[in-house]
Chains A and B, each alone.
Chain A
């Protein structure tokens, strides 16, 4: 009744092609942005930043990146953890080698370096597909982790192989290092997540995104209608790795502050991000955020409820938490194999007819 297209007249093609054609959606989007940029930075505390919002935003960026590759271009990748490690080590080397350059530039450069590495490991995708490609990217995961463990240059020859982010500032506010305030941490991640989501949305509905989807749906047919698979696949790898590299750089520099490649960027991370996009919804920007929210926030929520409110022993709660999250994943996938994004879409379609369904 309220949520509908009727009465919302579009007078230009531009208006007709916008991301949120329904007025209520648009308002919702602006409201979320207003809250995220205008209210949360003033009320956020360390716990909220470090345990909830910063990891959520960082994983959302990683999920966006993987969604471009897997969801839009159809190339399965298990190398996400390795590519995040590239971003983290790139930003570490840049931060320590060029301390005077802004950290934001370093983060973007780290994304660029990861894009290059991603293209390199994307080359096999020109010959192999599906499970075989997954195995090739798995090799990238193990190779990259091994590399960062093996070559001391990457961790500046520190005794333990740990990398630690020094303090760097943006506009006089520390955004990395221990003295970073919660709003600074949050805002850096939020600005990057917002910009990257905006880029991803516009890339995927433009000609590049259509080429990716054509390749995903049937590569031979796409080639026949004039899509160059080499450029389409490699550009998907490049853009995806750029996003993932930025996520890795943020994870290390802003969120964790210190990292160790095997522990922070192991195969588990690849699976975690893959689960995020499967649960959130393949080929959906909203799905990337929803999936990241599900996988990051649910364990924290369950832990707080079980240990904090119900007073259970921590180990019992930790085990139950794994079981609940696992059961929820299975249930979600049985009820809606296309993920939370599809669920959201169905809800909106039902809302349009409410309260008078046919």
Chain B
């Protein structure tokens, strides 16, 4: 047994290597497991945008983009396996859509010299490009999200949250714990008190947390959830008749599949987002002609236009723009990961450029630099309209409280640099 397995695996690996050349952007997706419903939509959006570029423009700068997919099931061990399996195939960039896998890859990409792009997730302090040379998390990170949510609440309360209570319902993992420190700091600054309510993964069991919310009656609930946890939380909130308009989810808790199970009771639920929603963008016409109609859409195009699909597509848009920038800077279409990193550091996505792409006002303006790998951190709020069955954008892009955040990012990235023995670069 012991001898035959490796031999067979060897045979399989030998035969499995993808063709070299082209631009390789592996998609470490998850379409199975407790987060599969969300992961599928994200992966579809990610794949479809690159398919569109290949079909319509012949790739980026004349180079076809290959998107080999590898299933991680949101599991870190499988994530490592996928990374190792794809890294020698000319891969330029990784976007694993999992904070756990991101933490694993952050040290590895610095050694293997691959770009890691974690839009809206991953390690927040990776925004500090002086410490995290290979990691980018524009347009917004978890702390930006927490701050934008608090800012919105300040607006709702005439600028003061004095004496209010906010409950944080979070996925008890690296992902959910990220905003705690920020919210504590913001609580001190604005005088609200924070109740932390961890939910064990995957999050099907939340009775006790919502019982506590019912007993303590916090003014607002902020949720950092993902996958099945969101559906259960929204259902539980409906069960205890918590006012939905006081319930704000992070962008990962803001997709159609999260609110639909609760039906009409979910009406008014709010969530953050850093990308536009709905299909009211010119790009979708091209997508229809070049990808969906010829039957080339990922998984048949059943999720086109959903919130998570749009987010996956937005990640692909940013990566494609960075590749284009890198190609212009390097003067060659066949770029290396180093050149792509430079492309990211000089990336600028203006509202005009978004309009050219066919996605006007779809995302915030992004301008990155050597020290800023996280962009502006702007996000906006959307609200669920249960009767129409769609999300409505209710605010403009809002800037987070950089004063509080930049100090925290400085502190956390310095701690990482000390732990990992990194000397921050000069920028």
Contact = CB atoms under 8 A, between A and B. Distances in A.
Interface of A: 32, 45-47, 50-53, 55, 96, 149, 156, 158-162, 164, 166-167, 177-179, 255-260, 262-264, 266, 289-290, 293-294, 297-298, 300-301, 303-305, 307-309, 313-315, 317-319, 322, 340, 344
B305 to A, nearest CB: 20
Contact of B419 (A96, A255, A297): A96
Contacts of B70: 307, 314
B85 A47 contact: yes
B12 A309 contact: yes
Interface residues of B, number: 58
- Across the A-B interface, the 7 shortest Cβ-Cβ residue pairs: A308-B16, A315-B31, A178-B107, A304-B12, A160-B174, A314-B71, A51-B81
A50 B15 contact: no
Contacts of B357: none
Contact of A158 (B2, B12, B76, B415): B415
B294 interface: no
A15 B201 CA distance: 54
Interface in B2-40: 2-3, 5-6, 8-9, 12-13, 15-16, 29, 31-32, 36, 40
Contact of B76 (A156, A160, A263): A263
B292 to A, nearest CB: 18
Interface in B259-275: none
B33 to A, nearest CB: 8
Nearest to A50: B84
B5 A289 contact: no
Interface string B405-425: 000000010010001110000
Interface of B: 1-3, 5-6, 8-9, 12-13, 15-16, 29, 31-32, 36, 40, 69-71, 73, 75-77, 80-81, 84-85, 87-88, 99-100, 103-104, 106-108, 110-111, 123-125, 172-175, 177-178, 180-181, 198, 200-201, 299, 412, 415, 419-421
Contacts of B421: 166-167
A178 B71 contact: no
15 contacts: A32-B3, A52-B6, A55-B77, A149-B172, A156-B419, A159-B180, A162-B100, A166-B419, A177-B107, A256-B77, A257-B104, A263-B76, A263-B201, A305-B12, A314-B69
B88 A159 contact: no
A51 B1 contact: no
A264 to B, nearest CB: 6
Contact of A297 (B5, B124, B420): B5
